[in-house]
């Protein structure tokens, strides 16, 4: 009896144990892995979207390990990634998403700048990632309705895709995981509508274990990503020199190449560039790079790392981790490719800005000092106004047309963008402008033929039809121009105004040249500033007028919060009633110089003395212009 009882008890105990075991099995937490370990184990790269298809390997981009693992760090709530375009930041977001779906599910939202971006990332990246990875595809429900353009519902969670321009899409259901990509392309905070980042973040409030990931390449200091990185612990990736062991952050200024080689293609093809250690000055080559990357460490602001890899310093306690990484760390780029890219964009501000943002992951700072008339006056040389100094090769002019008068500036150009103002004037009539068209400006150097203006840009803001007529009449000499704030990186863009009824362009018809005035103003401001710093290449004749000097200082650069991005630097009058006409004329004359490609002028283009002949014929005006008198022969 006793034995039977005990065996019954035993079996009851056993079944209780089994039940517990079963229960434990059901409820046990998934095997603890970090996001990077998960990616190495379970993420597969698509052959269509990746240069290196197949299983994901974190060791290819070791710096991404620290970034991805911040997601699985319980102390971290916010992650900011300020990075260049070629370091694998999108892949790291996808890896984090994959980890969430498989290991620690919760409602997730991925926000892109525009609707099209949200659709593309969903169809081209997220869906293929799920299909390719068995660890993820096992969570699919099999119901077609669960997968739409902007949402993917799997067994234990839903991932939503939204875009920053849609407040409705941003303010909705509670979200535990928030991924904000390319945040510098989000519409700027206007004050009227809510800041899209804040709006999306609101949705995470109910989750104590929320994670917010913000990613972007930087643009200007006022951009969202720079603001977020500033708020974080500001980690940088330190790698040790293979020669002396000194840990350092890789910066562009340490990329070196032979001094006598300036051809980007040669540098790239022959791999002539190297990285110079800041400590021992020895060369670190591309072949050494991968080894350094594996030994690298993320170090927050305020800490340092010694040659043995020991981190020192007091770390600020924060739940916000920030990572900054540039193209120098990328396994897909050589130091020579980076140097070559720099050399090919140097001196072209719009391309250089892209290089600084997208390759170096740094903010673009336009170096504009406030201009003062007294400072500007220092750029005056000894030559008198109206004469052309030694070195000048070609003359251009800019005309600002007002309601009942005109301003113009004539400027001479030489080798290496050196330039001299020849004259500036405020005149009353078109006749005075035609006089300038026909004028012979004597050279300072005896025996050199006098100069005439080669190209004049005339603003079409006022008296547009008249300006068009003048430009038709003086085709080849005068061009109709219109100032624009943004031409998508182009300095100027031509459109045909004269068309046949069938819409085809009339050959030889009138053209309108749209100028990106922001870029040209940046250019002129740079010319002036380098002049003030002492390496003068932008000159004025002796005794420049107060009016000219004052007008040249009438505008400054300010941040305008527009619709196109998180803020853009634009030129504005410093006070609403100040006059800026000569400043505009200088912009137009500089644009004319750019159109004539004065940057390509060489020493041998300089005029040589000849026996001076008195010019007999003036330039041909024509048509209605001649009717106004025989002034055109006065030249």
**Residue number with CB closer to Zn ion (243 or 472):** 243
Q: Cβ contacts of residue 52 below 8 Å, gap of 6+? A: 45, 60
Return the residues of window 338-377 that contact Zn ion according to CB under 5 A: none
Smallest distance, Å, CB 181 to Zn ion?
36
**Residue number with CB closer to Zn ion (277 or 512):** 277
**Residue number with CB closer to Zn ion (174 or 245):** 245
Taking alpha carbons only, the member of 180, 176, 265 closest to residue 227 is 180
Question: Which conformational region is residue 353 in: left (phi greater than 0), alpha (psi within -120 to 50 degrees), or beta?
Answer: alpha
Q: In a 3-state reduction of DSSP, which class is residue 21?
A: helix
Q: How many helices (H) and strands (E) does the chain have?
A: 21, 27
Q: In whole angstroms, what is the distance from residue 421 CA to residue 400 CA? A: 16
Q: In a 3-state reduction of DSSP, which class is residue 535?
A: coil
**Residue number with CB closer to Zn ion (284 or 470):** 284
Q: Residue 505 is encoded by which pair of tokens?
A: 């362009």
Per-residue x/- mask for Zn ion, residues 139 to 178, rule CB under 5 A? ----------------------------------------
Q: Select from 50-58, 236-244, 453-461, 528-536 the region that touches Zn ion (CB under 5 A).
A: 236-244
Residue 244 found at the interface with Zn ion (CB under 5 A): yes
The single-letter DSSP state of residue 423 is: E
Residue 381 found at the interface with Zn ion (CB under 5 A): no
Return the residues of window 414-473 that contact Zn ion according to CB under 5 A: none
Residue 243 found at the interface with Zn ion (CB under 5 A): yes
**Residue number with CB closer to Zn ion (241 or 593):** 241
Torsion of CA 442, 443, 448, 449, to 10 degrees: -30
Q: Select from 78-86, 276-284, 453-461, 597-605 the region that touches Zn ion (CB under 5 A).
A: 276-284
Smallest distance, Å, CB 282 to Zn ion?
5
Residue 291 found at the interface with Zn ion (CB under 5 A): no
**Residue number with CB closer to Zn ion (46 or 279):** 279
Q: Binder to Zn ion among 277, 455, 471, 552 (CB under 5 A)? A: 277
Smallest distance, Å, CB 254 to Zn ion?
11
Smallest distance, Å, CB 290 to Zn ion?
17
Q: In whole angstroms, what is the distance from residue 468 CA to residue 449 CA? A: 31
Distances (CA, A) of 284 to 86, 232, 277, 332, 612: 21, 31, 7, 17, 61
Smallest distance, Å, CB 360 to Zn ion?
22
**Residue number with CB closer to Zn ion (246 or 511):** 246
**Residue number with CB closer to Zn ion (180 or 277):** 277
Q: Binder to Zn ion among 101, 161, 241, 273 (CB under 5 A)? A: 241
Residue 484 found at the interface with Zn ion (CB under 5 A): no
Taking alpha carbons only, the member of 402, 389, 391, 478 closest to residue 438 is 478
Q: In whole angstroms, what is the distance from residue 520 CA to residue 348 CA? A: 11
The single-letter DSSP state of residue 313 is: S
Q: Select from 244-252, 253-261, 327-335, 436-444 the region that touches Zn ion (CB under 5 A).
A: 244-252
Q: Binder to Zn ion among 280, 381, 490, 494 (CB under 5 A)? A: 280
The single-letter DSSP state of residue 599 is: G
**Residue number with CB closer to Zn ion (40 or 279):** 279
Q: Cβ contacts of residue 423 below 8 Å, gap of 6+? A: 385, 386, 409, 410, 441, 541
Residue 293: count other Cβ atoms within 10 Å of its Cβ: 19
Q: Select from 216-224, 274-282, 318-326, 446-454 the region that touches Zn ion (CB under 5 A).
A: 274-282
Residue 305 found at the interface with Zn ion (CB under 5 A): no
Residue 276 found at the interface with Zn ion (CB under 5 A): no
Smallest distance, Å, CB 243 to Zn ion?
4
Q: Select from 25-33, 150-158, 210-218, 237-245 the region that touches Zn ion (CB under 5 A).
A: 237-245
**Residue number with CB closer to Zn ion (167 or 242):** 242
User: Would you say 585 and 407 are in contact if contact means Cβ atoms under 8 Å apart?
Assistant: yes
Smallest distance, Å, CB 272 to Zn ion?
20
**Residue number with CB closer to Zn ion (275 or 359):** 275
User: Would you say 628 and 429 are in contact if contact means Cβ atoms under 8 Å apart?
Assistant: no
User: Would you say 498 and 486 are in contact if contact means Cβ atoms under 8 Å apart?
Assistant: no
Smallest distance, Å, CB 248 to Zn ion?
8
Quote the distance between the C-alpha of residue 359 and its chain's center. 9
Q: In whole angstroms, what is the distance from residue 163 CA to residue 116 CA? A: 8
- 569-576 CB contacts, 8 Å cutoff, 24+ apart: 569/220, 569/366, 569/518, 570/485, 570/518, 571/517, 571/518, 571/521
Q: Select from 234-242, 357-365, 546-554, 619-627 the region that touches Zn ion (CB under 5 A).
A: 234-242
**Residue number with CB closer to Zn ion (242 or 450):** 242
Strand pairing partners for 350? none
User: DSSP letter string over 469-487?
Assistant: HHHHHTTTTEEEEEEES--
Q: In whole angstroms, what is the distance from residue 539 CA to residue 605 CA? A: 20
**Residue number with CB closer to Zn ion (289 or 521):** 289
Smallest distance, Å, CB 276 to Zn ion?
9
User: Would you say 244 and 279 are in contact if contact means Cβ atoms under 8 Å apart?
Assistant: yes
Q: Binder to Zn ion among 279, 301, 431, 469 (CB under 5 A)? A: 279
Residue 483: count other Cβ atoms within 10 Å of its Cβ: 18
User: Residue count at the site for Zn ion (CB under 5 A)?
Assistant: 7
Q: Which residues sit at the interface with Zn ion, rule CB under 5 A?
A: 241, 243-244, 246, 277, 279-280
């Amino acid at each position: 009896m006793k034995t039977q009882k005990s065996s019954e008890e035993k079996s009851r105990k056993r079944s209780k144990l089994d039940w517990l075991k079963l229960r434990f099995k059901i409820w046990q937490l998934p095997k603890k892995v970090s996001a990077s370990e998960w990616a190495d184990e379970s993420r597969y790269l698509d052959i269509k979207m990746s240069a290196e298809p197949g299983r994901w390997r974190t060791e290819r981009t070791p710096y991404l390990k620290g970034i991805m693992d911040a997601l699985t760090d319980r102390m971290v709530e916010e992650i900011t990634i300020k990075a260049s375009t070629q370091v694998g930041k999108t892949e790291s977001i996808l890896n984090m998403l994959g980890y969430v779906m498989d290991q620690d599910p919760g409602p997730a939202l991925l926000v892109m700048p525009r609707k099209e971006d949200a659709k593309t990332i969903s169809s081209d990246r997220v869906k293929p990632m799920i299909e390719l990875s068995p660890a993820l595809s096992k969570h699919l429900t099999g119901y077609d309705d669960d997968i739409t353009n902007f949402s993917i519902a799997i067994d234990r969670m839903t991932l939503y895709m939204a875009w920053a321009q849609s407040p409705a899409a941003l303010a909705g259901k509670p979200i535990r995981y928030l991924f904000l990509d390319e945040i510098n392309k989000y519409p700027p905070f206007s004050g009227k509508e809510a800041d899209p980042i804040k709006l999306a973040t609101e949705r995470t409030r109910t989750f104590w274990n929320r994670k917010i990931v913000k990613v972007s390449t930087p643009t200007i200091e006022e951009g969202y990503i720079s603001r977020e990185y500033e708020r974080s612990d500001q980690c940088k990736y330190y790698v040790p020199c293979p020669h002396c062991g000194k840990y350092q952050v890789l910066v562009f200024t340490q990329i070196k190449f032979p001094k006598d080689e300036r051809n980007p293609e040669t540098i790239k093809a022959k791999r002539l560039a190297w990285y110079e250690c800041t400590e021992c000055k020895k060369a670190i080559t591309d072949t050494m790079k991968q080894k350094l990357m594996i030994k690298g460490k993320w170090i927050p602001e305020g800490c340092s790392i010694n040659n043995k890899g020991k981190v020192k310093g007091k770390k600020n306690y924060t739940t916000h981790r920030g990572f900054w990484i540039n193209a120098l760390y990328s396994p897909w780029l050589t130091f020579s490719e980076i140097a070559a890219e720099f050399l090919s964009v140097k001196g072209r501000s719009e391309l250089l800005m892209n290089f600084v943002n997208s390759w170096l992951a740094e903010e673009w700072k336009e170096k504009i000092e406030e201009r003062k008339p007294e400072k500007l006056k220092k750029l005056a040389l000894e030559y008198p106004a109206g004469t052309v100094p030694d070195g000048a090769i070609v003359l251009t002019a800019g005309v600002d047309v007002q309601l009942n008068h005109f301003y113009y500036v004539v400027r001479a150009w030489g080798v290496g963008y050196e330039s001299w103002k020849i004259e500036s004037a405020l005149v009353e009539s078109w006749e005075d402008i035609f006089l300038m068209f026909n004028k012979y400006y004597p050279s300072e150097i005896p025996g050199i033929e006098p100069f005439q203006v080669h190209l004049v840009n005339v603003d079409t803001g006022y008296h547009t039809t008249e300006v068009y007529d003048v430009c038709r009449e003086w085709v080849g000499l005068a061009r109709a121009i219109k100032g624009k704030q943004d031409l998508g990186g182009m300095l100027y863009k031509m459109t045909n105004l004269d068309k046949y009824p069938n819409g085809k362009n009339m050959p030889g018809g009138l053209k309108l040249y749209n100028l990106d005035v922001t870029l040209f103003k940046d250019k002129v401001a740079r010319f002036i500033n380098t002049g003030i710093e002492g390496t003068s290449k932008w000159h004025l004749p002796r005794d420049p007028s107060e009016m000219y000097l004052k007008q040249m200082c009438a505008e400054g650069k300010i941040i305008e919060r527009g619709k196109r991005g998180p803020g853009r630097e634009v030129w504005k009058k410093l006070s609403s009633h100040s006059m800026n006409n000569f400043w505009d004329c200088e912009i137009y004359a500089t644009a004319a110089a750019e159109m004539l490609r004065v940057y390509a002028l060489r020493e041998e283009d300089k005029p040589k003395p000849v026996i001076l002949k008195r010019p007999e014929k003036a330039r041909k005006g024509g048509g209605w212009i001649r009717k106004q008198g025989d002034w055109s022969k006065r030249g």
